């Protein structure tokens, strides 16, 4: 395997006092390869956004490391920092909140170039803005309009265009389609896939349910209460989920086939009560095929029996 673009190693981010910390991210490790999409899934409050924000250096890790392009993101020089923010960008659930309502689309899209002193020539900058608009399915007529003149889906396209302005290697997409109409969601996801094909960028695609990440993810990571419970190739995780929480999440995904949809039953998740010695024994364990599950030795003995061996 080639060198990972991103390595998250034993990342912890705690909030609040040290007496009563909120363990938003609690010893999470994963990698993302260049050009790959990792889906990060879990219910609201499990720590997905905090993971993304810590990776992009908005929060300082409580412990652990984030290595991007071979460099520790908390130890960058000013010059490296500039480059870092060109190579890693974030897009958000609510594009409206992240777009300045008083700026035209052209101003929004060229703001970064101004800050970084790029494309100083007006013509050049305009051409760049038009190119960005076209790459997200908008056109140059949109450049002089304001965010409120667009639909939700179009605003998210503007947010994506802005994230693309420096041709990043990684975009952290924090629930980018959760606020959009179902009919628009697939359009935006497909567009993101197209952009990825053209530019070879990687995504950390955050979502609260598994149905949204299915079509875009190469691999999927499942998070629960700050812990990463299961990670594997997308198809493998769908077909052979091992952790009871993943099974429960999967049982919530509507089936396209009406017959299977009729049969579908929600599996409730009852969190395991672990003893103190169990707690020490808990770790991500290797099932093969790059599929890992967080469990005790005992659970692993039982659960790995269900997992097909190749
Ligand atoms: N800035 C913050 N200060 C204090 N607690 C926070 C902060 N951000 C998130 N949290 C807490 O951390 C946990 C994880 O939140 P978050 O990462 O937003 O989850 P998700 O994105 O999966 O919904 C929650 O309990 C949340 O209340
Ligand atoms: Mg969130």
On whether residue 1 sits in a domain, the answer given is no
For 20-29, 192-201, 225-234, 254-263, which range has the lowest pLDDT when averaged over its residues?
Answer: 254-263
pLDDT tens digits, one per residue of 266-294: 999 999 999 999 999 999 999 999 999 99
pLDDT tens digits, one per residue of 91-117: 999 877 889 999 999 999 999 998 888
On whether residue 109 sits in a domain, the answer given is yes
| pLDDT score, position 211 | 87
Q: Identify which of 304, 268, 302 has the alpha carbon closest to the alpha carbon of residue 288.
A: 304
DSSP-based three-state secondary structure for 141: helix
Q: Which ligand approaches the C-alpha of residue 46 most closely?
A: 1
| pLDDT score, position 214 | 83
| pLDDT score, position 98 | 84
Q: Which ligand approaches the C-alpha of residue 43 most closely?
A: 1
Count of domains for the chain: 1
pTM of the model: 0.96
Query: For the chain, how many residues are written?
Result: 310
64, 12 Cβ separation under 8 angstroms: yes
CA 183 to centroid of ligand 1, rounded, Å: 29
- Helix runs in 66-177, H state only: 78-87, 95-98, 105-116, 122-135, 152-164
Q: How far is CA 198 from the centre of its chain?
A: 19
CA 240 to centroid of ligand 2, rounded, Å: 26
On whether residue 52 sits in a domain, the answer given is yes
Residue reference for tokens 């890790």: 61
Residue whose CA is at the smallest distance from ligand 1 atom 27: 45
53, 8 Cβ separation under 8 angstroms: no
| pLDDT score, position 59 | 97
For the chain, give the mean pLDDT: 95
Handedness of CA 57, 165, 97, 203 (dihedral sign): negative
| pLDDT score, position 232 | 98
Q: What is the mean pLDDT of residues 209-218?
A: 90
| pLDDT score, position 95 | 76
**CB-based burial label for 197 (10 Å; 0-12, 13-18, 19+):** exposed
CA 280 to centroid of ligand 1, rounded, Å: 25
Q: How far apart, in whole angstroms, are the C-alpha atoms of residue 310 and residue 291?
A: 13
Q: Which ligand approaches the C-alpha of residue 16 most closely?
A: 1
CA 149 to centroid of ligand 1, rounded, Å: 32
85, 171 Cβ separation under 8 angstroms: no
Q: What is the mean pLDDT of residues 183-206?
A: 96
Containing domain of residue 262, as a range? 6-287+297-306
Q: Measured from the CB, is residue 44 less than 6 Å from ligand 1?
A: yes
On whether residue 266 sits in a domain, the answer given is yes
Rg (CA), the chain: 21
CATH number at residue 124: 3.40.50.300
């Amino acid at each position: 395997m080639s060198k990972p673009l991103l390595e998250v190693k034993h990342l912890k981010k705690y909030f609040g006092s040290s007496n009563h910390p909120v363990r938003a991210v609690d010893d999470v490790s994963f990698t993302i390869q260049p050009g790959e999409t990792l889906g990060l899934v879990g219910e609201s409050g499990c720590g997905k956004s905090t993971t993304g924000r810590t990776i992009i250096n908005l929060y300082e890790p409580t412990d652990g490391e984030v290595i991007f392009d071979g460099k520790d993101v908390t130890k960058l020089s000013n010059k490296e920092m500039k480059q870092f923010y060109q190579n890693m960008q974030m897009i958000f659930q609510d594009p409206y909140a992240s777009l300045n309502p008083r700026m035209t689309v052209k101003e929004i899209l060229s703001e970064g170039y101004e800050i970084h002193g790029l494309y100083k020539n007006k013509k050049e900058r305009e051409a760049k803005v038009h190119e960005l608009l076209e790459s997200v399915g908008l056109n140059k007529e949109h450049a002089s309009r304001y965010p409120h003149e667009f639909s939700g889906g179009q605003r998210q396209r503007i947010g994506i265009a802005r994230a693309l302005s420096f041709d990043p290697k990684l975009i952290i997409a924090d629930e980018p389609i959760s606020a959009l109409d179902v009919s628009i969601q697939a359009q935006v996801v497909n567009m993101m896939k197209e952009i990825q094909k053209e530019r070879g960028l990687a995504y950390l695609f955050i979502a609260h349910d598994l149905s949204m990440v299915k079509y875009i993810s190469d691999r999927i990571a499942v998070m629960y209460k700050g812990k990463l419970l299961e990670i594997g190739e997308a198809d493998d995780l769908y077909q052979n989920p091992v952790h009871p929480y993943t099974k429960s999440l999967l049982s919530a995904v509507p089936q396209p086939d009406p017959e299977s949809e009729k049969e579908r039953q929600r599996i409730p998740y009852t969190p395991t009560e672990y003893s103190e010695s169990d707690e020490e024994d808990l770790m991500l364990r290797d099932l093969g095929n790059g599929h890992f599950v967080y469990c005790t030795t005992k659970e692993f003995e039982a659960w790995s029996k269900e997992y097909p061996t190749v």
